[in-house]
Every structure is written in C-alpha cells, then in structure tokens.
C-alpha cells in the first residue's frame, strides 16, 4: 500500500482534476438553486466546503479497518490518497457542463450524487488493495457515500429553502 500511496501522492494532476471538478459541480449545483450571482457564489462556497469535508469523512471511514495503512501514511497521507481518488469526479463535472450549457438541464445535483457514488466505490477499491475484506469495504463505502450524499443534499435543501424565503420577503 505504501508503494501505491507514493504513486498517488506524486500525481498533482489528480488533485487539479478534483479541484476543477469540485468547483464546477459546486457552481452548477448552486446555479440550479438561484440565478443571483452573489447567492450562487455563497452557495458554491458552502458546497465546496461540504465536498472537502465529505472527502475527509470518506477517508477516515474507509481507513477504519486498516490500522496498517493509517500507521504507514498518517492522517495527511490518508487525505492525500482520498483527494487523489476523488479525481474520478472529473468525468461527472464535464458531463454536468455539457448537460447544463448544451442540453439545458439543471441536473448538476443528480450528476454530483452519481459522481460521489462512483468516486467512493473506486476509492474503496484503492483501500482494498491494502487487504481490507471485500464485504467490509463495500459496507464502509456505502456508509461513506450515504453520509457524503446526505451532507451534500442537505446543503442544497437548506440553500433552496433560504432562497425561497428571501424571495418571498423581497416580494412582500
């Protein structure tokens, strides 16, 4: 695993792809909630924080059964491994851009959720290389995906409610 970890850590392109995808999906998700630029910027910022928190939580959950990995790479290494793994968000960000700008769907939130599922399952397979049992890894990846998606969806719901309330106040 240490060898695999070194390979991921030495790949800054993966981190760049993840940051690009996270920013893109955050902005497109925020755009589907409101059309006002200050609101889009603030909601995007919250989404970005939630994505970072979600990736950290995923890393810690997937590392629970793997003492060996935690000792070898430490907390910083786990996070680095997780952020590299989440580069799988990139295809979903590109699909979200095309679907939003070319096809006119506001489906960024659904696309992000599909991206979270795929990224977490791929990340768990990275952790499985470190001899985590298959059943345990599937259960933990489901738990991590579930927590991440609840965090992400709750942000959308809260932002949507605040947006509706502020629009009602403006209309009054």
* Under rule CB under 8 A, residue 148 binds other proteins: no
Within 10 angstroms of residue 168's Cβ, the number of other Cβ atoms is 9
* Nearest residue (CB) to other proteins, 39 versus 95: 95
Positions in 121-140 near other proteins (CB under 8 A): 121-122, 125
DSSP 29: H
Site string for other proteins, 9-28 (x = CB under 8 A): --x-xx--x-----------
DSSP 124: H
* Nearest residue (CB) to other proteins, 2 versus 41: 2
DSSP string, 43-94: HHHHHHHHHHHHHHHHHHHHTTT-HHHHHHHHHHHHHHHHHHHGGGHHHHHH
Positions in 65-124 near other proteins (CB under 8 A): 84, 87-88, 90-92, 94-95, 98-99, 102-103, 105, 107, 110-111, 114, 117-118, 121-122
Give the C-alpha separation, 35 to 56, whole Å: 30
Q: How far is the CB of 32 from other proteins (least distance, A)?
A: 12
Q: Are 120 and 148 in contact (CB under 8 A)?
A: yes
Site residues (CB under 8 A) for other proteins? 8, 11, 13-14, 17, 84, 87-88, 90-92, 94-95, 98-99, 102-103, 105, 107, 110-111, 114, 117-118, 121-122, 125
């Amino acid at each position: 695993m240490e060898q695999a970890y070194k390979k991921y850590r030495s790949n800054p392109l993966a981190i760049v792809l993840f940051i690009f995808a996270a920013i893109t999906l955050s902005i497109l998700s925020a755009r589907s909630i409101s059309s006002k630029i200050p609101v889009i910027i603030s909601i995007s910022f919250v989404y970005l924080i939630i994505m970072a928190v979600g990736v950290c939580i995923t890393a810690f959950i997937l590392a629970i059964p793997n003492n060996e990995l935690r000792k070898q790479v430490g907390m910083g290494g786990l996070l680095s491994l997780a952020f590299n793994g989440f580069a799988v968000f990139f295809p979903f960000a590109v699909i979200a851009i095309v679907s939003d700008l070319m096809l006119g769907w506001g489906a960024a939130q659904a696309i992000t959720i599909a991206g979270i599922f795929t990224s977490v399952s791929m990340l768990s397979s990275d952790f499985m290389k470190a001899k985590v049992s298959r059943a345990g890894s599937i259960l933990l990846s489901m738990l991590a995906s579930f927590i991440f998606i609840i965090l992400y969806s709750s942000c959308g719901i809260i932002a949507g409610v605040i947006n509706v309330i502020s629009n009602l106040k403006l209309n009054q």
